[in-house]
Structure 1
């Protein structure tokens, strides 16, 4: 049943549903795909798409498909949770990238997932399952485990009581083992993942802390398994995380606390 028939449905909610239909891996959609993804009538989708395109929120390519428009992208860069953080973190990420020539990524917590807000990738780096604005599971990604470990007891219990999908043969799905890893991560501020999310991909991650001691983000380097020693990468990643944390107001002696 088309959701546009729901009582109380507003034009704004329909516009937002159209915009939210665009996702990582689905950044270009045809009119028919928008109709299918939103469940709204073809005539309604066409009218709203014309309005959004006219306002610059969407752009129509020569092939007739639609993408997010420049004006909407500019608006997104003003998001207070990501843009100041990205600006402060980028020089440190560039240094890690220059030194290691691997994936370097920055992520924040949103709900029960980690959202990548910035990534630098070498042309010859291995393929990963997500891109910027993509989402990663908390229980088996490097940035995810860091964010989960500092997300508070309610989040930890919610994640461990829920479904814990197995992505590879090495994915840890045993709640008892995950509790041990979470405790270690909370103590050290770091996480090392060995092929849990993507076969052949390891991740070394650390926390980023603000002036109040709250973990606001996680930084990681993703490398091909057995290409480098994790202990050789870890000090550089931790140093970068501490540097970003200092710019956010953190100082030695400020106790790291949960959300």
Structure 2
């Protein structure tokens, strides 16, 4: 693949263009795209126009570029995340109907140290500020789904994050992950948002490897674990079976 004068490949420049589109910036002119990517206007226009011809970008009536429908089409028919989202949605809907709170489905990016939110159902009228937007990334160790996932990752993966917790040698994180494994769920109060409490359970796939988590976020003032946990744990078990996990004990605690 041909490189630019800076040595950057075409693929890398295309990735910069596609990554420039955000929820706050869904459509851009050539000049805006050039500023967002650091590419020259001529390069941004040439690559964006080629992507538009292939359907990966579209153009609106004002001539601005935006993400094309073909990207969704390709992901919908061939991406594991889409299968996970599709199979997970009925379970999220069941939780949402029962608890009437914000419900999310997330997957880990261990290398990046984040969780990626792939689906979310909101509670209409609830004043909770929920940062877990669809396609948003949040820290693996600062969210309830992240901790629920990390607790069930292999020991060497957990150790890597504990080492990174240099302030206390990872002792607090180690204790938190041990409690998640013991209980079968994570409860995180006043984490990223002071007024919120989040609950999450891991979702397992083939070989009982952890592949994601379902979470519920609600105001601390409305915290009702006796209502949330039975529904959430049941959904985690159900989605795990749907994703190919073997039957396994889920929690040491009765609900």
TM normalised by structure 2 equals 0.86
CA separation in 1, counterparts of 2:233 and 2:88? 13
The alignment of Structure 1 onto Structure 2 pairs a total of residues equal to: 246
**What corresponds to 1:105 in structure 2?**
104
CA displacement at 1:143 relative to structure 2: 0.5
CA displacement at 1:221 relative to structure 2: 0.8
Match of 2:28, SS state, is coil
In the alignment, structure 1 residue 96 sits paired with structure 2 residue 95: yes
Give the stretch that moved more between structures: 239-248 or 55-64. 55-64
CA displacement at 1:4 relative to structure 2: 4.3
Residue by residue over 1:3-62, the C-alpha shift from the partner in whole angstroms, topping out at 9 and shown as x without a partner, is 94322x332332222112224544333433321232211111011112222322122334
Match of 1:154, SS state, is helix
CA separation in 2, counterparts of 1:106 and 1:224? 19
Q: Does the 8 A contact of 2:129 with 2:193 survive in 1? A: no
1:1-259 superposed matches below 5 A: 4-7=4-7, 9-110=8-109, 111=111, 112-125=113-126, 126-162=128-164, 175-253=170-248
Give the stretch that moved more between structures: 17-26 or 218-227. 17-26
Q: Does the 8 A contact of 1:219 with 1:241 survive in 2? A: yes
Q: Do the aligned partners of residues 226 and 14 (structure 1) sit closer, same or farther apart at CA in structure 2, a change above 3 Å counting?
A: same
Match of 1:36, SS state, is helix
Q: Do the aligned partners of residues 163 and 76 (structure 1) sit closer, same or farther apart at CA in structure 2, a change above 3 Å counting?
A: farther
Q: Do the aligned partners of residues 124 and 70 (structure 1) sit closer, same or farther apart at CA in structure 2, a change above 3 Å counting?
A: same
Match of 1:220, SS state, is strand
CA separation in 1, counterparts of 2:124 and 2:245? 34
Structure 1 unmatched ranges of 5 or more? 165-171
CA separation in 2, counterparts of 1:71 and 1:5? 30
CA separation in 2, counterparts of 1:14 and 1:113? 24
CA separation in 2, counterparts of 1:21 and 1:79? 23
Match of 1:72, SS state, is helix
CA displacement at 1:102 relative to structure 2: 1.5
CA displacement at 1:179 relative to structure 2: 1.0
CA displacement at 1:159 relative to structure 2: 2.3
Match of 1:150, SS state, is coil
For the aligned residue pairs, the C-alpha RMSD in angstroms reads 2.6
Q: Does the 8 A contact of 1:141 with 1:196 survive in 2? A: yes
CA separation in 2, counterparts of 1:69 and 1:230? 42
Q: Does the 8 A contact of 2:99 with 2:227 survive in 1? A: no
Match of 1:158, SS state, is helix
TM normalised by structure 1 equals 0.85
Structure 2 unmatched ranges of 5 or more? none
CA displacement at 1:190 relative to structure 2: 0.8
CA separation in 1, counterparts of 2:35 and 2:4? 13
